[in-house]
Amino acid sequence: MKVLLVGSGGREHALAWAMAQSPLRPTLLAAPGNPGIAGHARCLPVAAHDVAGLVALAQEERVDLVVPGPEAPLVAGLADACAQLGLACSGPSAAAAQLEGSKSFTKAIAAAAQIPTARFETVESVPAALACLRRFGAPVVVKADGLAAGKGVVVATTLAEAEAAVLAMLRDGSLGAAGQRLVIEECLVGPEASLFALCDGENAVPLGVAQDHKRVGDNDTGPNTGGMGAYTPVPVMPPAMVDAAMRRIVHPALAEMARRGTPFRGILFAGLMLTADGPKLIEFNVRLGDPEAQALLPMLDADLLGLLHRAAAGSVAGLAPRMHPGAAVAVVVAARGYPTAPILGQSLGGLTAARATGALLFQAGTATAPDDGLVSAGGRVLTVCGRGADLAAARRLAYAGVAALNFPGGFWRQDIAARVA
C-alpha cells in the first residue's frame, strides 16, 4: 500500500512511525515531512496547506491512501478533492471539518443531537453580545467562531473581562474574520480530557483518551501553546466514562452529520470537561492532537494503517482497537522564546543517547544542518515519549530521554503528568 502522509510535526512523525510498523508493509511518502519522518518516508516539498499540490502529488505517485495530519488542508477541501479523483483519504470533507472550523456550527450540531455541552448563545453584534453577557453573568466564556490559533477563547472571571474580550474581537477585529461571530457560553468546571474516535461516516470506535498541557509554563502558567506535553491513559476518565462519552457525544454527532448529508470520516477529537453531571463537550477537532498523538499512538496495539484505511474506504463497525497495557507520557521540547518568538537555528544533539534510554523521539521543528547534524527550525522542536507499566514509570523514562538530549537552545515543562504520576 502506498500512502501519502500530510504534515511536518511531531504528530505526523508519530503517524509515520506507527504506519511504518504495519503488516501491510506500506511505501510511505510525506509532504512536506521533516528529518525524523524521513527515517520512514520519502519526503517531498509540497506544503501541508497546498491542496492542489497534494492532490497532484497523490495522483502522480498513484497513492492508495492520503493521511492528513493537521486540520488546515481538511478545512480547505483536501478530502473533497481526493474524493473527486477516487482517492481514499482518512480525513473529513470540508463540510464535516466545520466541526473544527466553526464553534457555532459545532454548537448547532450539539443542540440538534442533544449532546451535553455548555449552555450558549451565538452573537454577531456588540449590543447583542453585551446583553447576552448580562444574562449569563460571570464567570462566562467568550469564543471566536473561527480558527484563531489558540487565541480565540477567553474564560472570563468578571463581566468587565468578558466585555473587553467582546469589544476586542467584534469591534476592534483583533482576530479578523474569525472573531466577527462569537459563541458566549456558560463556564463549566471539572478536569479536561481529550477522547479520540475513529469514524467511517456512520460508525465510530474509541482510539484512546489523553490529557494535554496547553500553557507554556509549569503549573499551567504563561501563554497558551499548541501543547507542551500529554499523557495517556487519563485516570479521571475510566473506560465506563469513555463508553458514556461515545454514546452521548460521539455517536450522536456522527448521526447528525450523516443526517445532514455531510458524514464525518476520520479521527474525531472530542475535547471534554468531566463535570459533576458527566462528560460535556467543549469542542471538536477533526484530527489527532499534537502532542496527544505522540503519547497515544505508541500505546496502540493495532495496525494503525489498516484502521485508517478502513475509516477512509470501508467500515470500522465491530472493530475494537486495543491499547497496550501501561501508560505513555510525551514531553515537548521547545525552542527558547516559544510561543512568542522561538529562537531557531540552534544545534540539537544527543538524540542517540536519548533513544538509548528507551524513550521514543518524534521530531517536529528540526532541520538538517550542513554537517548532517540537526538544528531547531520551529517552536516545538521534538517530543520525547516514555512508555512504562504506569504513568510514573512512563514519566521517569520520558524525562530521562529529555535529560540525555544536548540542546542548550531548548526548554520544556518539568511537570508533565506530575499530578497523576
Among 46-54, 130-138, 173-181, 287-295, which window interacts with ligand GLY (CB under 6 A)?
A: 287-295
Task: Please check whether residue 126 is in contact with residue 166, taking contact to mean a CB–CB distance below 8 angstroms.
Answer: yes
290: contact with ligand GLY by CB under 6 A? yes
CA angle in degrees (0–180, nearest 5) for 14-17-23: 135
Pick between residue 200 and residue 292 the one whose CB is nearest to ligand GLY: 292
User: With contact defined as beta carbons under 8 Å apart, do 377 and 344 qualify?
Assistant: yes
Region near ligand GLY per CB under 6 A, out of 240-248, 288-296, 298-306, 379-387:
288-296
Tell me which residue of 330, 342, 355, 340 sits closest to 405, measured CA to CA: 355
Question: Going residue by residue from 145 to 164, which x/- string records binding to ligand AMP, judged by CB under 6 A?
Answer: --------x-x---------
Residue type at position 232: T
Shorter beta-carbon distance to ligand GLY: residue 67 or 81: 67
**Residue 122 touches ligand GLY, criterion: CB under 6 A:** no
313 scored as a contact of ligand AMP (CB under 6 A): no
Are 384 and 398 within 8 A, CB to CB? yes
C-alpha cell at 313: 474506504
Query: Does the footprint of ligand GLY cover residue 12 (CB under 6 A)?
Result: no
**Exactly one of 3, 15, 96, 141 binds ligand AMP (CB under 6 A); which one?**
141
The beta strand positions in 213-260, using DSSP E, are 215-217, 221-224, 229-232
CB atoms within 10 A of CB 407: 24
**Residue number, 12 or 292, with CB nearest to ligand GLY:** 292
Q: Give yes or no for residue 90 binding ligand GLY (CB under 6 A).
A: no
- The reply on whether position 100 binds ligand GLY by CB under 6 A is no
Phi/psi of residue 143, each to 5°? -130, 130
CB-nearer residue toward ligand AMP: 29 or 253 = 253
Closest Cα partner for 6 from 22, 63, 24?
A: 63
In this chain, which of 163, 202, 283, 303 binds ligand AMP, going by CB under 6 A? 283
Among positions 173-202, residues that touch ligand AMP (CB under 6 A) are 185, 187-188, 192
Residue 370 preceded by cis peptide, ω within 30 = no
Beta strands in 124-258 (DSSP E): 140-144, 153-156, 182-186, 192-200, 204-212, 215-217, 221-224, 229-232
Residues that bind ligand GLY (CB under 6 A): 212, 226-227, 285, 289-290, 292
Instruction: State the residues that interact with ligand AMP by CB under 6 A.
Output: 118, 141, 153, 155, 185, 187-188, 192, 271, 282-283
